[in-house]
Structure 1
Amino acid sequence: MDNFQRNLEKYAELVVKIGVNLNKGQDLMIESPLESLELTRLIVKKAYEAGANFVQVHWQDDVITRSKFEHAHDEAFDYYPLWYTEMLERFVENGGALLNIKVPDPDLYAGIEASLISRASKAAATARGKYQQYVRTSTFSWCLIKAPTVAWANKVYAELPEEQRVNAMWEAIFKINRVYEEDPVAAWRTHIEQLKRVRKVLNEKKYRALHYRATGTDLTVELPENHIWLGGDKANGSGIRFVANMPTEEVFTMPKRTGVRGVVSSTKPLNVNGALVDRFSFRFEEGKVVDYQAEVGYEHLSRLLDMDEGARYLGEVALVPYDSPISNLDRIFYNTGIDENASCHLALGSCYPINVKDGATLSTDELKARGGNTSLIHVDFMIGTSDLEIDGYLEDGTVEPIFRAGNWALKF
């Protein structure tokens, strides 16, 4: 128990110092499930020790969240309070930082009609459009982290006795976040420097396109001119470095909106707004999904793709070696924030404008003209395997290996 408390405190300090990198005089907002009370209290303590002016905690509970879908009147699913989005916008504009302990129950909406989930998601995404633009342009510091809940641990570690599952989840979270290192903050800084070296090499390459080959996948993804690879940390509008997702093992950039063609198959289940989609595939033509299949959750996938016009185009391409800390745990976490960092992945929907030169200053039309996609959604899905091969096409027509047998063929 003493070791657990020390590790929990190290984790809290890590997410404050590396995740949001809270500076003196900032406000911090924490979104946390009720089950994470102990961790949240430690984070609040560490935030004030780091110089926070004010820390606000917004508590979340899956039973309360599901209650809306079981009991609300029909019109409620097309409503989202503008006063709440305006509060988020003011919070960002006043220099606040957001820390979200994001661990929804993978089976939260089991038995709920897919159309209700889709309508509620669309209403929220539409109302939060300006705030999401702040997120995607890194206007402010934000970080998504993980902490065990009983429902999540029961799903991931179902083979263990029930009383061991939450502890097993804590062990995994501490391990993939380098908490077991003597100095996790220093270990993360070393890790970030390595990701910087990777993205530096990729940015110097200026690939014209990537070609993916694996079982069920033969996909070509063009990259726009002046695309930028990012990974590790990034700077907000005030120049403060932060890590948007903990853990993180990826480097990522923007695909050309109309430059995707071929077929791609998923390799891990996808949690879509609390509903699982699994064993699915897409066929792309001129950037657009023109056909798709799913053995599990087909209706949820259909409604996701019909969210808006941009939902059928890609907004992100990310590279993660198969031989990486999370992948080597050989476990599906049913949480995109972890699973995407165990696997190469793509994202349907909106791009991150910061993945193209001067992208944060572009209007929607200008971004689209530069090859970027816009949408109400941004949903990552995993495609990495031990047999994945990726080739890079250089501007002079040269083709060179980027990935072989699921891992980097480039040297960093």
Structure 2
Amino acid sequence: MEFERNLDKYAELAVKVGVNIQADQTLLVRSPIECAPFVRKVVEHAYKAGAKNVHIEWSDEECTLIKYLNAPEEAFNEFPKWTSEQYVDIAKEGGAFLTIYAQNPDLLKNVDPQRVANFQKASAQALKEWRSYTLSDKCKWSIVSVPTESWAAKIFPDVSKEEAVEKLWEAIFKCSRVSDQDPIEAWNNHNNDLKTRMNFLNDKNFKTLKFKSAKTDLTMELPEGHIWLSGASQDPNGVNFNPNIPTEEVFSMPHKFKVNGVVHSTKPLVYGGNVIDNFSLTFKDGKIIDFTAEKGAETLGKLIDTDEGSHYLGEVALVPFKSPISDTNIVFFNTLYDENASCHFALGSAYKTCIKDGDSIKEEEMDKYGVNTSLTHVDFMIGSADMDIVGITNDGEEIQVFKDGNWAF
């Protein structure tokens, strides 16, 4: 009974805080078929909140794997046009998108990485117009996660699949504040706290950030007119929504051409059904000039080579080492969770909302403002218990932003 109550609270949270469905809105839910019981509750809460239509796009990892192992090469160089057109149509009419992210981290470990890279690029190109809506908050979107047996077994390999799923549900409810008596009120308070951090960073208007830990030594300049944002966003109608549940980040964009030094990963990155782990990136004038990886080097190389923009950073996000997610001491092998347990950067596109009047900057002028563009946007984790971050203002004043992995103010 307690689990059912929490499941219902979680679905309500996804609808009312995640995408914050309004009267007569359309909602598209993208989900693995294993998550159907949760999706049904989402659909119910969406209609109760006034949704006009709720559409479901199901996926099945077993079918995905079968395709990667058996389909002809040309199948991975194309993406269904009707899918991209559907996404854009829903975005244009003011609809919302909820993604249930529950990927098996090892699904494609025995698949030719070139096939994965080809399809990642084809899908990114096909969904470019739709992503322009999400990257600029022109539509409401949110990502939540639901345990599946394969994902849970990766995290908890020493227990039965049933127990692994139970343990993962417990962690998700805790990290998402579903275990609180009133999760929606808890999220209102949490968003206000993140907004306080955001306001501090915007008031200081730092020119430069210096990241220093045992393995990372990197200097990053921020573009003129940059804006720090936090967990909650607003659509064009001024309606709040939370793109990530959970979230612990305050984020902005680095200057595309003004990142120098070495950064080392602190958590595994799951990309294209493969795990990339213990990797480093070396930057000169913003561009990756070298990389290493203990695991998944080939996959990392293909990610970096997606296009020219994937050689540069598009996001810098500050997350305290001490947070509900980090305190679980769980490596989730899931970017939604792991990125919100750690400071992180993103390879690829910047969010236009992170610079003044970003929506009016033409694509051919992005470089002039130091704004990166790319077909991809992939977060990777760099935060640690010994991470120090110093901000330098335009007047040359140095201010401690992070000390020993946590906020210094």
Q: What is the rounded CA distance, in whole Å, between the counterparts of 1:329 and 1:408 in structure 2? A: 19
Equivalent residue, structure 1, for 2:348:
349
Give the structure-1-normalised TM-score: 0.98
Kept after mapping to 2: 8 A contact 1:359/1:367: no
Identity across aligned pairs (percent)?
45
Q: Secondary structure at the match of 2:283?
A: strand
Kept after mapping to 1: 8 A contact 2:149/2:161: no
Amino acid of the structure 2 residue aligned with 1:282:
L
Equivalent residue, structure 1, for 2:122:
123
Kept after mapping to 1: 8 A contact 2:226/2:252: yes
Q: CA deviation at 1:232?
A: 1.5
Residue 195 of structure 1 pairs with residue 184 of structure 2: no
Query: Where does the alignment leave 5 or more consecutive residues of structure 2 unmatched?
Result: none
Kept after mapping to 1: 8 A contact 2:230/2:251: yes
- Match runs of 1:10-409 below 5 Å: 10-409=9-408
Q: CA deviation at 1:159?
A: 2.5
Kept after mapping to 2: 8 A contact 1:261/1:285: yes
Which moves more between the two structures, 358-367 or 73-82?
A: 358-367
Amino acid of the structure 2 residue aligned with 1:143:
S
Q: What is the rounded CA distance, in whole Å, between the counterparts of 1:57 and 1:174 in structure 2? A: 23
Query: Where does the alignment leave 5 or more consecutive residues of structure 1 unmatched?
Result: none
Amino acid of the structure 2 residue aligned with 1:134:
Y
Deviations 1:106-130 (A, max 9, x none): 0010110010000011000011111
Kept after mapping to 2: 8 A contact 1:96/1:140: yes
Q: CA deviation at 1:65?
A: 1.4
Kept after mapping to 2: 8 A contact 1:353/1:367: no
Q: What is the rounded CA distance, in whole Å, between the counterparts of 2:304 and 2:156 in structure 1? A: 31
Q: Secondary structure at the match of 2:119?
A: helix
Q: What is the rounded CA distance, in whole Å, between the counterparts of 2:150 and 2:26 in structure 1? A: 31
Q: CA deviation at 1:365?
A: 2.1
Q: CA deviation at 1:142?
A: 0.3
Kept after mapping to 1: 8 A contact 2:207/2:392: yes
Q: Secondary structure at the match of 2:24?
A: coil
Q: Secondary structure at the match of 1:373?
A: coil
Q: CA deviation at 1:368?
A: 2.4
Q: CA deviation at 1:399?
A: 1.0
Q: CA deviation at 1:161?
A: 3.2
Amino acid of the structure 2 residue aligned with 1:85:
S
Q: What is the rounded CA distance, in whole Å, between the counterparts of 1:84 and 1:324 in structure 2? A: 37
Give the structure-2-normalised TM-score: 0.99
Q: Secondary structure at the match of 1:280?
A: strand
Q: CA deviation at 1:173?
A: 0.6
Kept after mapping to 2: 8 A contact 1:250/1:341: yes
For the aligned residues, what is the CA RMSD?
A: 0.8
Amino acid of the structure 2 residue aligned with 1:402:
V
Q: How many residues align?
A: 409
Q: What is the rounded CA distance, in whole Å, between the counterparts of 2:162 and 2:405 in structure 1? A: 36
Q: What is the rounded CA distance, in whole Å, between the counterparts of 1:92 and 1:114 in structure 2? A: 32
Q: CA deviation at 1:238?
A: 2.2
Kept after mapping to 2: 8 A contact 1:230/1:251: yes
Q: CA deviation at 1:203?
A: 0.3
Q: CA deviation at 1:370?
A: 1.1
Q: Secondary structure at the match of 1:14?
A: helix
